[in-house]
Structure 1
């Protein structure tokens, strides 16, 4: 599968699992030959992305492909990839459950299996602005706040997940949305709720989300999102 096909497949999965926000949100993949990155084209929703609606850009947002529109927030992808050589793919989404959860200030706790991917420690948070990440400087600040983590909440905005490849970055977004939705539902009952302690959470992270399990889960997501 070529880079444009990988991004298009990831966008289709995101669309099917709670991440559609009209034409906003984006997914990127580091170019395997070191020439910038491949990014969902601006002006289309996740569910509309086909390989010909994926653009190839450099770190400054300049088109390397023949045509297409570049998202204003391309610095999210360009600057995180510049700061994190281990990151091969990035998702930026405005999933409602995650935006709502971020506004509560609650720690994201492992009520179920999904939360163990993000705690301990608690998720990183970007609070410098709730506006768009539309400059290289803001992109660098976001990358610094993310540090070595796999997710960061952008309060009053959305979130970013990262991974070595498209399947990992996209699945982190899918799992994050579910974890936030579950905790919001539990908190809304007004009852006391429970979660795994640190030792159990770390053990479950390894047991539930090893390479084989994640590969099987990705294959399932692709099949049902076709």
Structure 2
């Protein structure tokens, strides 16, 4: 499977699971040959992405391959990958639950399984601006804010997830959207609500999201995508 194929599948899975926002949001994968980053082309919804709607760019956003336009926020992807050799794929979306949850200022707690991926410690946050991450300086600031973590809330904006590959980065975005949604629902229903303590959260993280479990979950989502085509 080519990098463009992987980005295409990942974008359509994201769109089907709470991360679509008209033509905005994007997924990238590091070029295996070191040429740059393969990124969803601008101007299309995630559900519309096919391999020919994926472009290869360098760190400056120059298009090296493909015919599509380059997203203005490409520095989110290029700067995280420049700072993190362990990262092979990055997601940025405007998942509504993540945007709403960030606005509450609440620490993210593991109300269900999903939250254990992000706490403890509390999820990383970027509060410098809610505007677009449109240049290398802002992209570098986002990379610094996420540090060595798997996810970041961009306040007044959306989410960013990073993983070694497309399945991990995409699943992490889906789980973060759900974790935020569950906590919003719990907080709306009661002033206090139950969640895992640190020991249980770490144990659940290891059991629920081991590589074999993530592989099985990804295969399921890809099968669902194929059956709905």
The CA deviation string for residues 71-110 of structure 1, in whole angstroms up to 9 with x for no partner, is 0000000000000000000000001010000000001100
Per the alignment, residue 30 of structure 1 pairs with: 30
1:66 CA displacement: 4.1
SS at match of 2:195: coil
Tell me, yes or no, if structure 1 residue 169 matches structure 2 residue 204. no
Whole-Å Cα distance in 1 between the matches of residues 30 and 38 of structure 2?
6
Whole-Å Cα distance in 1 between the matches of residues 157 and 115 of structure 2?
21
Consecutive unaligned residues in structure 2, runs of 5 or more: none
Describe how 1:37-116 pairs up with structure 2 within 5 A.
Answer: 37-116=37-116
TM-score, normalising length from structure 2? 0.98
SS at match of 2:35: coil
Per the alignment, residue 203 of structure 1 pairs with: 203
Whole-Å Cα distance in 2 between the matches of residues 3 and 223 of structure 1?
19
Consecutive unaligned residues in structure 1, runs of 5 or more: none
Whole-Å Cα distance in 2 between the matches of residues 191 and 218 of structure 1?
35
Query: Runs of at least 4 residues of structure 1 off by over 4 A?
Result: none
Q: CA RMSD in A?
A: 0.7
Whole-Å Cα distance in 2 between the matches of residues 45 and 66 of structure 1?
17
TM-score, normalising length from structure 1? 0.99
1:183 CA displacement: 0.4
Tell me, yes or no, if structure 1 residue 187 matches structure 2 residue 166. no
**2:53/2:67 contact within 8 Å kept:** no
Per the alignment, residue 152 of structure 2 pairs with: 152
1:191 CA displacement: 4.2
The CA deviation string for residues 166-186 of structure 1, in whole angstroms up to 9 with x for no partner, is 000000000001100000000
1:193 CA displacement: 0.6
Whole-Å Cα distance in 2 between the matches of residues 222 and 174 of structure 1?
14
Question: For the structure 1 residues 204 and 124, does the alpha-carbon distance in structure 2 shift closer, same or farther, using more than 3 Å as the test?
Answer: same
Whole-Å Cα distance in 2 between the matches of residues 22 and 79 of structure 1?
25
SS at match of 1:79: helix
Whole-Å Cα distance in 2 between the matches of residues 205 and 30 of structure 1?
26
Whole-Å Cα distance in 2 between the matches of residues 136 and 66 of structure 1?
22
Per the alignment, residue 118 of structure 2 pairs with: 118
Whole-Å Cα distance in 1 between the matches of residues 91 and 207 of structure 2?
25
**2:14/2:20 contact within 8 Å kept:** yes
SS at match of 2:47: helix
**Range with greater deviation from structure 2 (47-56 or 187-196):** 187-196
The CA deviation string for residues 173-208 of structure 1, in whole angstroms up to 9 with x for no partner, is 000011000000000112421111101100110011
The CA deviation string for residues 44-75 of structure 1, in whole angstroms up to 9 with x for no partner, is 00000000000010010001114210000000
SS at match of 1:29: strand
